[in-house]
Chain A
């Protein structure tokens, strides 16, 4: 059915030829030609009229569906059919796209988080019911309005205008008190923005409840334990009245209650670190002095012979942070090294700059740790070998404290270990935490390299 107009052209030529012949035969050339062409023209004009009426007459007003086309012959019949066909195709395509759009919208509606689509002027293009509920947005009125006109918190406005959305943003809702939202924004390729809002109020409350619980329990346990410990000390000190075969049991009881006290202290410290206690003051802490102090304290409380320890700590290296937390970090790492390294072994503490960051490494020549345990090492109470750990002692919370304390300094812990050769625990502090390195206290000046041997 191609080239309908060619067929029509042929028909037209045939009609003209016929008219000419008829005209010549009857001798009425001009009238016949004029009349014939008038009829032919009328036929065309009539079809044009029908087409116009047909195209204008839509079913159902808004839905714009064309009626079935009128019957016509020749090229007009073809045109009617063709237009109708294209029209139908178009409608089918729209229906398909509509269905797909509907699917997408249903999906987005079903998401548990609030979703808002913004254009590059931060005006609202679309939002789902969860977003409406969390931020008190009204559909459809708020479409087209700038989001910051309705969510006006200055911090949120600053965050949204920043255009750099790597980090998520937490803010307290003004509309619903006590609700805390986590907002993430993504730049879409067509310059639009996708804003995702998650309600983390429950999570926040639960974290707080858990942390308070641990804290409360630990505090409550402190008193009974110190009562027990105190009396045990008295009993043991009373040499005369203490039966011989009670001495060993009492000693064991005392060491166990010391362990409980240590555990409770560690739990309280961990809870306090996690609770994001911003009351602690930040200061510049000289590393050399700190490490020397720690090792001194550890040695004083420890009667046994231990491995040798060497330091490589420049005297001008310092970290800006919380002194007591830094003390815990390095104290835990070094005391672990002492605990798990045999007395013939070597422990090394190094501190240095590396591409702007400060790294403090504690390495030992102990038995090492299998690779499978490394990811879980900083879990609370995680033990590689329960039996050995029970003998060696400790609360099982040391590395957890180290990890959380490092987190408070925006630092990270890297653990490397070769079974049979030894382990290295490295603390990596970001550039913002590096101090200017001027030691105010003259007494903290120490020689650059010191080897502690007995």
Chain B
């Protein structure tokens, strides 16, 4: 693995600035992680108070997005970074954008829960949603950890988990469709749950993106839009 972190800058202040930028992004990541946890809990426990909290907190995520962009612009203008530093800053921009989208999806999931009422719950579907939810949570956590540690191995882990998430999603959709066919009265509620599952699957994809940006930063290789096998091949070289 390239030793990106070991490089020293002539100006130590620049080093610190980049470190601060990283912490800034991870701060935002922590908030988004919390939003995701809360949104899933709000959905599976049909907790409208928690859902309202998630929806309200979304402005904080957006605020992070704006502030980080401001900081990045500042750095680009003043420091004009090159090589790995430039790749880092680019990775930050993209990661921030994806985190903001994940925040939006979490808000969407929370909204679904306030639309559901108590007697339209489907316990078996909820169980699967919870399971899908914890897989996606783990993906997000790994993606952010890999960013914190500049660790390519963990980033590859995330890419692998995406396949599992996609499979889970498909099986949930199949089951929900059976529910809908069995009892048409349940269709509205079931659709809400289906959108939530879709939102989770999309969060999984975004986590994958974040790990791809990290790999790009570390290895200098753009590994987006290729399959997992090709990715692993590329990185062995």
Known contacts A138-B149, A142-B149, A177-B134: A149-B23 contact under CB 8 Å: yes
The bracket for how many chain B residues form the interface is 10 to 19
How many pairs of residues, A versus B, come closer than 8 Å at their CB atoms? 42
Does A174 count as interface, using CB distance less than 8 angstroms? Answer: yes
In whole Å, how far is A181's beta carbon from the nearest beta carbon of chain B? 15
* A152-160, A360-368, A417-425 - the one binding chain B: A152-160
In whole Å, how far is A31's beta carbon from the nearest beta carbon of chain B? 60
Question: Which residues on A sit within 8 Å (CB–CB) of B144?
Answer: 152
Does B22 count as interface, using CB distance less than 8 angstroms? Answer: yes
Question: Which residues on B sit within 8 Å (CB–CB) of A146?
Answer: 19, 23
Are the CB atoms of B149 and A152 closer together than 8 Å?
no
Return the contact of A152 from the options B19, B27, B137 (Cβ within 8 A): B27
Dominant secondary structure of chain A at its interface with chain B = loop
Known contacts A138-B149, A174-B37: A152-B29 contact under CB 8 Å: yes
In whole Å, how far is A196's beta carbon from the nearest beta carbon of chain B? 21
- Tell me the count of chain A residues lying within 8 A, CB to CB, of chain B: 17
Does B30 count as interface, using CB distance less than 8 angstroms? Answer: yes
Contact with B along A368-402 (1 / 0, CB 8 A): 00000000000000000000000000000000000
Contact with B along A156-184 (1 / 0, CB 8 A): 01000000000000000011010000000
Q: Within the assembled complex, what's the spacing in Å between the Cα atoms of A141 and B33?
A: 23
Question: Which residues on A sit within 8 Å (CB–CB) of B148?
Answer: 145, 149-150
In whole Å, how far is B131's beta carbon from the nearest beta carbon of chain A? 12
Known contacts A138-B149, A145-B148, A146-B23: A174-B33 contact under CB 8 Å: yes
Known contacts A148-B26, A149-B23: A154-B145 contact under CB 8 Å: no
Known contacts A152-B30, A152-B33, A174-B33: A141-B23 contact under CB 8 Å: no
Does B141 count as interface, using CB distance less than 8 angstroms? Answer: yes
Does B157 count as interface, using CB distance less than 8 angstroms? Answer: no
Does B52 count as interface, using CB distance less than 8 angstroms? Answer: no
Does B167 count as interface, using CB distance less than 8 angstroms? Answer: no
Question: Which residues on A sit within 8 Å (CB–CB) of B23?
Answer: 146, 148-149
Q: Within the assembled complex, what's the spacing in Å between the Cα atoms of A152 and B30?
A: 4
Does B187 count as interface, using CB distance less than 8 angstroms? Answer: no
In whole Å, how far is A282's beta carbon from the nearest beta carbon of chain B? 16
Q: Within the assembled complex, what's the spacing in Å between the Cα atoms of A154 and B64?
A: 13
Give 24 pairs: A residue, B residue, CB < 8 Å, sorted on A.
Answer: A138-B149, A141-B149, A141-B151, A142-B149, A145-B148, A146-B19, A146-B23, A148-B27, A149-B26, A150-B148, A150-B149, A152-B27, A152-B29, A152-B33, A152-B144, A153-B30, A153-B33, A153-B34, A154-B27, A154-B31, A174-B33, A174-B141, A175-B141, A177-B134
Chain B interface (Cβ within 8 Å of chain A)? Answer: 19, 22-23, 26-27, 29-31, 33-34, 37, 134, 137, 141, 144-145, 148-149, 151
Given A146-B23, A148-B26, A154-B31, 19 more A-B residue pairs with CB atoms under 8 Å apart are A136-B145, A138-B149, A141-B151, A145-B149, A148-B23, A149-B22, A149-B148, A150-B145, A150-B149, A152-B26, A152-B27, A152-B144, A153-B33, A154-B34, A157-B30, A174-B37, A174-B141, A175-B141, A177-B134
